[in-house]
Amino acid sequence: MALSQDRSQELFQQAQGLFPGGVNSPVRAFRGVGGTPLFIDHAQGGYIWDADGNRYIDYVLSWGPLVLGHAATEVVSAITEQAAKGTSYGAPTALESQLAVLIRELMPSLEMMRFVNSGTEATMSVIRLARAFTGRSKIIKFIGQYHGHADLLLVQAGSGVATLGLPDSPGVPVGSTQDTISLPFNDLGVVEAALAQYPDQIAAVIVEPVAGNMGLVLPQDGYLQGLRDLTTRYGALLIFDEVMTGFRVAMGGAQALYSVTPDLTALGKVIGGGLPVGAYGGRTEIMKHVAPSGTMYQAGTLSGNPLAMAAGLATLRSWSQSGVFERAATATTQLINGIREIAAANNISLQAASVGTMFGFFFTDTPVIDYASAKTSDVARFARCFHALLERGVYIAPSQFEAGFVSAAHDQEVIGATLHAFTEVLALL
């Protein structure tokens, strides 16, 4: 059954002499599952093709951004039309305001916003803003949550840090993280205790409202509202990192789904439609502190890049049309229910969840509510599952500690073929 991956192997060999580990972002290297990463040649809709010409159904979707699937016609046209008019001006454009208006319609808590070039930049900047606004230094984050790779947030982080089992990265000086308090997710008691211990020192609590970087872990009932109440009581800001969940768990993000309004939000991924982008925003009163209207400095040569704005705008316009998100969300539910049933029929212990168009499953019989319980998962079994799926033309994230994504291009045929592959694979494990 093994596919030919000669060309990917050749390319990987060359890349290893050019890039650390052969990649430009760690999780791409397949270290969590072993084997050679696929080098991608092209993609369309719900499918990607590797350099050897093998076709796969794609549940990675560039780690979330591609809600319409690959190379959606309207996104490709928007990019090519804009490219012909110039790729960057370093001056304001109407496109930035158009995208901001659409984002604010969908996520009204972003009364004002600032575009940046990545999720990392968004979270890093939003923390600087929270500190500037409150005049406080400490921040609370949650173990197994990933907010990009800025020094101060690289403490007990998820995603690649979790996959590779890295401790806090060398090169991050103690001084950068001494004000970062890292606590277990889904436990309000520890948050209250930390706020009570430093009542006037905590600038913000930053949270992935639905955790997607330790695998998919949902907030427990009342947890997000509890964070809202506690931060308000102690004068700290509540920051939702919706870089992954924004326009994915619901059109209005987790803040709409759970009806909890953060003070500030970080965005990325979907709003760039597959081009590099990020944004942070929130209450006007707070955002006014950003330069040049205020004194908190933050800038970017390519920020609000017209190609990224055009791609994001085309993506969000289609994605917010009536029924599009709902159909993809229904396909996601169908997929995860199918996986759950197949696992049960094979007596495989599995914790499976989905929300909107994100899904995830863990090979464990322990309910997964935080990073410690996520780590009870059988990662060797996951690796076998990953490779067996790949051989059958289904590409999921090459790590137990990443979420899966469904797009508008994942139609009944795609979901059916995926469940067929799972039926064969879970019978083997």
Ligand X SMILES: *Cc1c(COP(=O)(O)O)cnc(C)c1O
Count Cβ atoms within 10 A of the Cβ of residue 387 and give its class: 0-12 exposed, 13-18 middle, 19 or more buried.
middle
Nearer to ligand X, 51 or 260 (CB): 260
Strand partners, 296: 290
Q: Which two tokens stand for residue 168?
A: 């806090």
> Which of residues 12, 30, 47, 146 is near ligand X by CB under 6 A?
146
Examine the residue annotation and report whether 269 is marked as an active-site residue of this protein.
yes
Best CA proximity match to 363, nearest among 376, 353, 346, 372: 376
Nearer to ligand X, 25 or 197 (CB): 25
Catalytic residue among 258, 269, 280, 375: 269
Q: Which segment (54-62, 119-127, 253-261, 312-320) binds ligand X by CB under 6 A? A: 119-127
List binders of ligand X among 26-85 (CB under 6 A). none
Q: Which segment (143-151, 284-292, 318-326, 338-346) binds ligand X by CB under 6 A? A: 143-151
- Say how far apart CA 156 and CA 122 lie, in whole Å: 19
How many residues belong to the site for ligand X (CB under 6 A)? 15
CB-CB contact of 251 with 84 (8 Å) = no
Strand partners, 43: 48
- Say how far apart CA 154 and CA 174 lie, in whole Å: 11
Query: Is residue 244 at the binding interface for ligand X, with CB under 6 A as the rule?
Result: yes
Query: Is residue 248 at the binding interface for ligand X, with CB under 6 A as the rule?
Result: no
Instruction: Report the residue count for the chain.
Output: 429
Nearest-CB residue for ligand X: 119
Q: Which segment (52-60, 238-246, 292-300, 319-327) binds ligand X by CB under 6 A? A: 238-246
DSSP-derived 3-state class of residue 250: strand
- For β-strands 202-207 and 237-241, DSSP reports them as parallel
Query: Is residue 147 at the binding interface for ligand X, with CB under 6 A as the rule?
Result: yes
Catalytic residue among 146, 234, 280, 395: 146
Catalytic residue among 58, 241, 263, 370: 241
> Which of residues 241, 263, 370, 402 is near ligand X by CB under 6 A?
241
Rounded to the nearest whole angstrom, what is the least distance from the CB of residue 82 to ligand X in the complex? 21
- Say how far apart CA 99 and CA 105 lie, in whole Å: 10
List binders of ligand X among 269-298 (CB under 6 A). 278
DSSP 191: H
Nearer to ligand X, 50 or 121 (CB): 121
Rounded to the nearest whole angstrom, what is the least distance from the CB of residue 354 to ligand X in the complex? 17
* Count helices and strands in the chain by DSSP H and E runs: 15, 14
List binders of ligand X among 162-181 (CB under 6 A). none
Q: Which two tokens stand for residue 324?
A: 């599009």
Rounded to the nearest whole angstrom, what is the least distance from the CB of residue 107 to ligand X in the complex? 15
End-to-end CA distance of the chain: 16
Nearer to ligand X, 208 or 263 (CB): 208
Q: Which segment (77-85, 241-249, 297-305, 313-321) binds ligand X by CB under 6 A? A: 241-249
> Which of residues 82, 123, 357, 418 is near ligand X by CB under 6 A?
123
DSSP codes joined into one string, 192-221 = HHHHHHSTTTEEEEEE-SSB-SSS-BPPPT
| Cα angle: 47, vertex 27, 343; to 5 degrees | 65
Rounded to 10 degrees, the C-alpha dihedral 132/134/136/140 comes to: -100
Count Cβ atoms within 10 A of the Cβ of residue 297 and give its class: 0-12 exposed, 13-18 middle, 19 or more buried.
exposed
> Which of residues 22, 26, 45, 119 is near ligand X by CB under 6 A?
119
> Which of residues 93, 109, 120, 182 is near ligand X by CB under 6 A?
120
List binders of ligand X among 198-237 (CB under 6 A). 208, 212-213
CB-CB contact of 31 with 164 (8 Å) = yes
Examine the residue annotation and report whether 141 is marked as an active-site residue of this protein.
no
Examine the residue annotation and report whether 146 is marked as an active-site residue of this protein.
yes
Residues that bind ligand X (CB under 6 A): 118-120, 123, 146-148, 208, 212-213, 241, 243-244, 268, 278
Active-site residue numbers?
Answer: 146, 241, 269
